[in-house]
Structure 1
Amino acid sequence: MSSNKVLAKEVFDKIPAVDVKVVDELLTKELLELDKKIIVLDDDPTGVQTVHDVSVYTDWSKESIEKGFMEENAMFFILTNSRGFTAEETEKAHKEIALNITEVAKNLNKDFIVISRSDSTLRGHYPLETKVLKETIEANSEVKYNGEVLMPFFKEGGRFTVDNVHYVQYDEYLVPAGETEFAKDRTFGYTKSQLGEYIEEKTNGEFKASNTTYISLQDIRNLAIDSITEQLLKVDNFNKVAVNAVDYVDVKIVTIALIRAIKAGKNFMYRSAAALTKVIGGVSDKGLLTRDELIKEETNNGGLIVVGSHVQKTTEQLEELKKVDFIEFIEFNCHLVLEPEKFTAEVDRIIEKCEDLISSGKTVAVYTRRERLDLGEGKKEEELKLSVKISDAVTSIVTRLKVRPNYVVAKGGITSSDVGTKGLQVKRATVAGQIKPGIPVWRTGAESKYPGISYVIFPGNVGTKTTLREAVEVLNNK
């Protein structure tokens, strides 16, 4: 563990409290005056982990975007799943999305805000995605962006930004993000935890830490909304704004200032974790979902759990899940991907076993072999391509399944995206809410393979050791 870790309690105890009621009143007033459609581009399906009763579209056709614009709701999500893309694929997708948004917005004469929702541990195609969005929107509309707001705070996952440093909580300690396993990501690695330095590192020096505007917790907790607004009004040349936050109230206060800056003529692009979307989208708090809300239609079939993510937390949660006696476990030897015939036979074996067990009332957990496939140095793209093949195979388990499970749980961002879009063939889902903090549930649309089923999207890096087991117990607790 990191040498720079700090005790969470010591950090939080130093931060002054603030009157949430006053803040909520101010925010409600500002949100009423924000007449813009909020479009959240989600680079994996876990970004809806703070909202409920919001639509998620799994494609970015003009037709889907228009449906989103026409909804009563202020906000809708588009699942891009771009964290599973190559840089080339994500650039192409974001150009298409930006073009379609600007065209639909023009036709409907409606203003919009785009939020690029990504990982609270700072992984993903940054700065590529927001840069492409900015350039494409500017080239095809009257909109000009003054700056970009970075807000990776995500309370439910234990991600906090203090003194401009982004932390990940492990038990009672806060560890700088750059010193965690997430920063060692094969595709999206980084070394810096101070947000301005992270920006400088990721943009290869194009945007400097010294030019970053920092919104301090001191100003936030002093309710210095005017001076925060002043800071925002000075941002130009697409320079970056780093937001400190340890609680939702901090996001609310900054959002008030942001809306005031927007009303004064400023335009921002946003790269954030899931907290900002809940606040700026005006989504109310809602309790965790109960079994009655989750299982609308009882069957005698078992559930299906698919575990893909390889982060340490997922492996720990899987070990804990194995203590449950009502689940049958099937290991998928994904390393056979290097031997195509054996790989096909392995997938067939798993599907046959799932069919038998689920239809006999047993819940099944299929999990990929825990060791990472390592092809050695300099093989990042090849590894990514193989991981896509593995992901496709995992998805095909759901696609080819003939029996309807009682529910579906997918663990890991890319896994849950593929299972939702390809396996369950969802075009539009409604977010029912959360089964545990930070763990969203989709109610699938009429067009999907299993209409109206509860689909639990379990991020790879959220929850404690026991959270996966507890979520599955809620689903089975008749």
Structure 2
Amino acid sequence: MIMEKELLAEYPAEVPVDPREVAASVAATGRVLVVLDDDPTGTQSVSDLPVLTRWDVEDFAWALGTGAPAVYVLTNTRSLDPAEAQARNREAVDHALTAAREAGVPLGFVSRSDSTLRGHFPLEPDAIAATLAERTGEPTDGVVVVPAFPEAGRITVGGVHYTRDGQGGLVPVAETEFARDATFHYSSSHLARYVEEKSGGRWPAEDVIVLDLHAVRGGAAGIADLLEPAAGSTPVVVDVVTENDLRALALGLAEAERRGKKLLYRVGPPFVRARIGQEQRAPLTGDEVPAGGTGPVGGLVVVGSHVGVTTRQLKALTDRHSHATTVELPVEAVLDPDRAEAQLTETVGAVVAALAEGDVVLHTSRLLVRSEDPSESLRIARTVSAAVVAVVNRTLRTAPPRFVVAKGGITSSDVAAHGLEIRHAMVRGPMLPGIVSLWEPVDGPARGIPYVVFAGNVGDDGSLAEVVRKLSTTF
């Protein structure tokens, strides 16, 4: 057992950093960060920022017009195959640059992905860097890899990425269920070796720059000095344990960029908050959540994720919320072309009828259908997600819920963009400390309906029930 307290004893204490100092460094450049989010859960650490589910030039024009220091773009590439993910990243960067040129706004780019290392890496940063080089003529010097997400129990120490076990211990992330993901599996918790593994040896571990806690807590100038050798998209992996570490890193990155370094970022959720100097917002209370729809009594909770914590959270919600109706969408039926349509019709009817009486919990059956072929696993996941989206969209058209909570990355992305037809929204803040994001749609048929994005792999067993309790009138 690796104990966090003992592991950190060999490193200097964290250094308090005022987020206003970071914000001032961002304001001085006038730069806006464009965050290409491979699923919508990256917004859970920020507040009052625009989010897009489409990335045409006019969408970016709207987002840049808000004056926000960062813009989230829901690319949903974690659900796509590599070729599709690459094309989507390149298109989004190209359109962002066009909109920024017309608005006279300088941009930086962030590739936001999973704090448990699942996703298309290094493909996505490579796609961004290639597009920037083609459009601007400027090469990328370094790709800064910061997966840490302390609020969700993911930290990096000594170049090794861990997840907290809740009892003061640390588990190397490669020893968790996340590393056995059907599509994005990996074998190393040591980030430099992870880079070597995922890049197929293109970047040997010894060529990766490592910023450990000595460097991160040693001052901005020292961080910038260590980044000086970066060239040709050199990977840079970073230790982070606390929010102050992220802010200290932000100052070091700002200094490196002031010296002329061109950097891209591959990060977990809280990086952007720290990089723009945003305070950690307290969780929204029930009184701060928009009132929602005026039709049915109930809200809709949609659960698609199959990781263990989600299944436990689903059980806790249904055990505690006695007034909620549970509707199961059988995965086997929606994967059968001869049964799928009849199953969808039946499920929509059940959901609409139950919303008139109270909240509804719609979940896919807990049997995980998967394949040894990563592409086939993605196809299965996308088919199931499309069925969930169809139920949500037909329900919205018939009886708009008072609120919607979507649990799981692919689920919450597809529900937002296609089920609720959200194109533009504002991220209002977290529903729990540092995790679980509430969006307010500003257009489309779901305008004004509170929408909660809940990652599959965050929170304790009671977290889903706690969020629904804040939103519900019948809990």
Q: Which amino acid aligns with 1:66?
A: A
- Find out whether 1:240 has 2:235 as its counterpart: yes
User: Deviations along 1:334-362, whole A, 9 cap, x unmatched?
Assistant: 112342222222211111011111023x1
Rounded Cα–Cα distance in structure 1 between residues aligned with 2:375 and 2:153 = 31
- In structure 2, what is the equivalent of residue 97 of structure 1? 92
- In structure 1, what is the equivalent of residue 457 of structure 2? 461
180-189 vs 32-41, greater mean Cα deviation: 32-41
Give the TM-score normalised by the residue count of structure 2: 0.95
- In structure 1, what is the equivalent of residue 172 of structure 2? 176
Rounded Cα–Cα distance in structure 2 between residues aligned with 1:176 and 1:255 = 25
- In structure 2, what is the equivalent of residue 130 of structure 1? 125
Rounded Cα–Cα distance in structure 1 between residues aligned with 2:102 and 2:137 = 14
Q: Tell whether the 8 Å contact from 2:221 to 2:255 is kept in structure 1 after alignment.
A: no
- Written as runs of structure 1 = structure 2, the 5 A alignment for 1:167-246 is 167-172=162-167, 173-221=169-217, 223-246=218-241
Q: Tell whether the 8 Å contact from 1:301 to 1:404 is kept in structure 2 after alignment.
A: no
SS across alignment from 2:145: strand
Rounded Cα–Cα distance in structure 2 between residues aligned with 1:101 and 1:450 = 25
User: Deviations along 1:140-161, whole A, 9 cap, x unmatched?
Assistant: 2132211110000111211100
Question: Alpha carbons of 1:59 and 1:247: their partners in 2 closer, same or farther (altered >3 Å)?
Answer: same
Once the two structures are TM-superposed, the CA of residue 383 in structure 1 deviates from its matched residue by 2.9
387-396 vs 290-299, greater mean Cα deviation: 290-299
Rounded Cα–Cα distance in structure 1 between residues aligned with 2:21 and 2:413 = 36
User: Which of 237, 250, 253 is equivalent to 1:255?
Assistant: 250
Cα RMSD after superposing both structures? 1.7
Rounded Cα–Cα distance in structure 2 between residues aligned with 1:422 and 1:407 = 16
Q: Tell whether the 8 Å contact from 2:334 to 2:387 is kept in structure 1 after alignment.
A: no
Once the two structures are TM-superposed, the CA of residue 15 in structure 1 deviates from its matched residue by 4.6
Structure 1 gaps of 5+ residues are: none
Give the TM-score normalised by the residue count of structure 1: 0.94
> How many residues in Structure 1 have an aligned counterpart in Structure 2?
468
Q: Which amino acid aligns with 1:163?
A: G
Q: Which amino acid aligns with 1:382?
A: E
Q: Which amino acid aligns with 1:381?
A: S
420-429 vs 234-243, greater mean Cα deviation: 234-243
User: Which of 113, 116, 120 is equivalent to 2:111?
Assistant: 116
User: Which of 333, 341, 345 is equivalent to 2:330?
Assistant: 333
SS across alignment from 1:463: coil
- Find out whether 1:350 has 2:350 as its counterpart: no
- In structure 2, what is the equivalent of residue 107 of structure 1? 102
- In structure 2, what is the equivalent of residue 282 of structure 1? 277
Structure 2 gaps of 5+ residues are: none
Rounded Cα–Cα distance in structure 2 between residues aligned with 1:421 and 1:216 = 38
Rounded Cα–Cα distance in structure 2 between residues aligned with 1:19 and 1:161 = 17
User: Which of 419, 432, 435 is equivalent to 1:436?
Assistant: 432
- Find out whether 1:417 has 2:413 as its counterpart: yes
- Find out whether 1:301 has 2:266 as its counterpart: no
Q: What percentage of residue pairs aligned between the two structures are identical?
A: 33
Question: Alpha carbons of 1:460 and 1:297: their partners in 2 closer, same or farther (altered >3 Å)?
Answer: closer
Q: Which amino acid aligns with 1:258?
A: L
Q: Which amino acid aligns with 1:334?
A: V
User: Which of 433, 446, 449 is equivalent to 1:450?
Assistant: 446
Q: Which amino acid aligns with 2:399?
A: V
User: Deviations along 1:84-138, whole A, 9 cap, x unmatched?
Assistant: 1111111111121122123233333432100000000000011111101101110
User: Deviations along 1:270-321, whole A, 9 cap, x unmatched?
Assistant: 1001111101223222211111221424745111011000111111111111
SS across alignment from 1:20: coil
Once the two structures are TM-superposed, the CA of residue 66 in structure 1 deviates from its matched residue by 2.1
Rounded Cα–Cα distance in structure 1 between residues aligned with 2:95 and 2:469 = 42
- In structure 2, what is the equivalent of residue 386 of structure 1? 380
Q: Tell whether the 8 Å contact from 2:290 to 2:448 is kept in structure 1 after alignment.
A: no
